[in-house]
Amino acid sequence: MRCCDRSSQLTHGLFAATLVYALLAIPQVDDVAAGGDGYVPGLTMLIAYLLMLGSVVALVLYVHHAGQTLRVAGLIDLVGDHLHEQLHRAYPAYDSAKADPDPQVVTAPTPGVVVMFDLPGLVAAAAAADCSLRMIPAMGDFVCAGSPLLLIDGDGSRLDHRHLASLVSLKNERSYPDDPAYGFRQLVDIAERAVSNPFADPTTTVQAIDRLHDALRQLANRTIPTGEHHDEHGNLRLTTPAPDWTGHVRLAFDELRIAGAGSPQVARRLRAALEDLKTVAPERRQPELDRQLGLWTLGVRQSFDSDLDTTNALIADQQGLGSGADLVRHANGRQDDPVKVGPQLTS
């Protein structure tokens, strides 16, 4: 964030320089109306126009930088960078810390969150050196400066560690393009914040669960990458941490299941999502859904004192509270008894 401070200083300097130059250039224009011969210095006006254009561009960039700095991630990054510099000045490193680094380990040059892997570049580098690489942090992990990024399996003497480190992009916060789990994370944060006191907005939580449900339904029958990457000859060259089906389901439901068990609207919507996912997920992906249903049922039973409230919360409902089998009429023209619809309350 130091560059952002310097950018602000340069922007202010450009604004001041443009103003001062304009004030100095105005007297050089010989106005006909004032009795002059109408002389306009071309080079002076050209420089004035360029300064004006540069000021407009700088203003747009300055507003962008200011907005980024005011974000929570920007403020944390600013304080963290200043603290990093203070530690370097105040506390010298041990001599042992300056020893030759491990040639089999590629370390992070700066702190940051992993937002992108250049997979083709890493595979090509490993193939050229006839070795394999193992990525230590997963997408979205925060990496401390000097901590391991990659482990080299084989002879890595021909690898350029600095080049390899540059193939792993570190930023101050996670982003969407190559990190689908970040979308799950943000939806869960919204849903959990909405259902927590003092906000108590279960309808917003249900809307977030709608999107989580949709995302997992799309994922249920898709191939999830294993994190193994091979070269053109089929040799394993790179291994990266990658979430599997269980990881995505737990990311979507674990926290919400705990936070929303006491809300009938959230509990009913979660059951509807899990039951629907069981209808589309292949057999090998059913165990985690069964596990979630079991834990969800246990959590709901522990959250209500009344058996009737428990039975009500255990009914699947796509709207949370509005389209469950106990609330709507079916094709047979009758409304089911809510007590009979709910699952048995046996331990």
Reported as a single tens digit per residue, the pLDDT across 175-213 is: 877 888 999 999 999 999 999 877 788 999 999 999 999
pLDDT band at 299 (very low <50, low <70, confident <90, very high): very high
Domain match, 50 and 197 both: no
Q: Which of 171, 200, 219 is where one domain is finished?
A: 171
pLDDT band at 276 (very low <50, low <70, confident <90, very high): very high
Residue 144 C-beta-side C-alpha neighbours within 13 Å? 3
Q: Which distant-in-sequence residues (6+ apart) come within 8 Å of 11 by Cβ?
A: 58, 59, 61, 62
In a domain, 95, yes or no: no
Q: pLDDT tens digits for 223-270?
A: 999 999 999 999 999 999 999 999 999 999 999 999 999 999 999 999
Top pLDDT among 275 and 44 is at 275
Res 277 pLDDT > 80: yes
Pairwise pLDDT comparison (329 vs 293), residue with the higher score = 293
193 and 211 co-located in one domain: yes
Give me the half-sphere count of Cα atoms (radius 13 Å) on the Cβ side of residue 327: 14
Q: What are phi and psi of 131, to 5 degrees?
A: -145, -175
Query: If you average pLDDT over residues 13-27, what whole number do you get?
Result: 87
Return the pLDDT at 100.
Answer: 63
Whole-Å CA distances, 324 to 165, 296, 313: 53, 17, 10
Q: Tokens in use for 130?
A: 């006839």
**Range with lowest mean pLDDT among 20-34, 107-121, 154-168, 202-216:** 20-34
Q: Exposed, middle or buried: residue 106 (CB in 10 Å: 0-12, 13-18, 19+)?
A: buried
Q: What is the largest CA-CA distance in the chain?
A: 103
Average pLDDT over residues 10-25: 88
pLDDT tier at 342 (50, 70, 90 boundaries)? very low
Residues 10 and 52 in one domain: yes
Choose one of 58, 89, 120: the last residue of a domain.
Answer: 89
- pLDDT attached to residue 63: 85
As a whole number, mean pLDDT of residues 117-122 equals 94
Tell me: do 83 and 138 sit in the same domain.
no
Q: How does pLDDT run across 325-335, given as a tens digit for each residue?
A: 888 875 555 55
Last-in-domain residue among 143, 171, 199? 171
User: Which residue has better confidence, 28 or 285?
Assistant: 285
Which of the four pLDDT bands, split at 50, 70 and 90, describes residue 345? very low
Q: Give strand pairing partners of 230.
A: 236
Q: Quick one: 166 and 189 in the same domain?
A: no
Cα(265)–Cα(309) distance, integer angstroms: 12
CATH number of the domain within which 165 lies: 3.90.1170.30
The predicted model gives 141-154 an average pLDDT of 93
**Would residue 329 count as lying in a domain?**
yes
In this structure, the answer to whether residues 167 and 303 fall within a common structural domain is no
Shared domain check, 134 and 71: no
The confidence score (pLDDT) of residue 235 equals 94
Does any domain span residue 319? yes
In this structure, the answer to whether residues 28 and 106 fall within a common structural domain is: no
Minimum mean pLDDT among 36-40, 138-142, 146-150: which range?
A: 36-40
Sign of CA dihedral 206, 208, 214, 215: negative
Residue 116 is assigned to a structural domain of this protein: yes
Report which of residues 310 and 31 the model is more confident about.
310
Domain co-membership, 151 together with 277: no
C-alpha distance from residue 289 to each of 116, 149, 270, 327 (Å): 30, 33, 11, 26
Report residue 76 as tokens: 């944390």
Q: Is 193 a member of any domain? A: yes
Tell me how many domains the chain contains: 3
In a domain, 347, yes or no: no
Averaged pLDDT of the chain: 86
Does residue 346 fall inside a structural domain? no
151 and 85 belong to one structural domain: no
Q: How far apart are CA 333 and CA 208, in angstroms?
A: 32
For the chain, percent of residues with pLDDT exceeding 90: 56
For residue 281, what are its two tokens?
Answer: 């997920």
Average pLDDT over residues 83-90: 85
Assess whether 112 and 43 both reside in one domain.
Answer: no
Residue 38 has pLDDT above 80, yes or no: no
pTM of the entire predicted model: 0.74
Q: Which residues contact 88 (CB under 8 A, 6 or more apart)?
A: none
Full residue range of the structural domain in which residue 148 is found: 100-171
Question: Minimal CA–CA distance to 243: which of 261, 265, 259, 227?
Answer: 227
What's the average model confidence in pLDDT over 77-90? 83
Per residue, what are the HEC states of the chain?
Answer: CHHHHHHHHHHHHHHHHHHHHHHHHHHHCCCHHHCCCCCCCHHHHHHHHHHHHHHHHHHHHHHHHHHHHHCHHHHHHHHHHHHHHHHHHHCCCCHHHHCCCCCCEEECCCCEEEEEECHHHHHHHHHHHCCEEEECCCCCCEECCCCEEEEEECCCCCCCHHHHHHCEEEECCCCCCCCHHHHHHHHHHHHHHHHCCCCCCHHHHHHHHHHHHHHHHHHCCCCCCCCEEECCCCCEEEECCCCCHHHHHHHHHHHHHHHCCCCHHHHHHHHHHHHHHHHHCCHHHHHHHHHHHHHHHHHHHHHCCCHHHHHHHCCCCCCCCCCCCCCCCCCCCCCCCHHHHCCCCCC
**Could you give the CA distance from residue 286 to residue 317 in angstroms, rounded to a whole number?**
21
Q: Are residues 85 and 45 in the same domain?
A: yes
Instruction: Judge whether 330 lies within some domain.
Output: yes
Give the chain's radius of gyration (CA, Å).
30
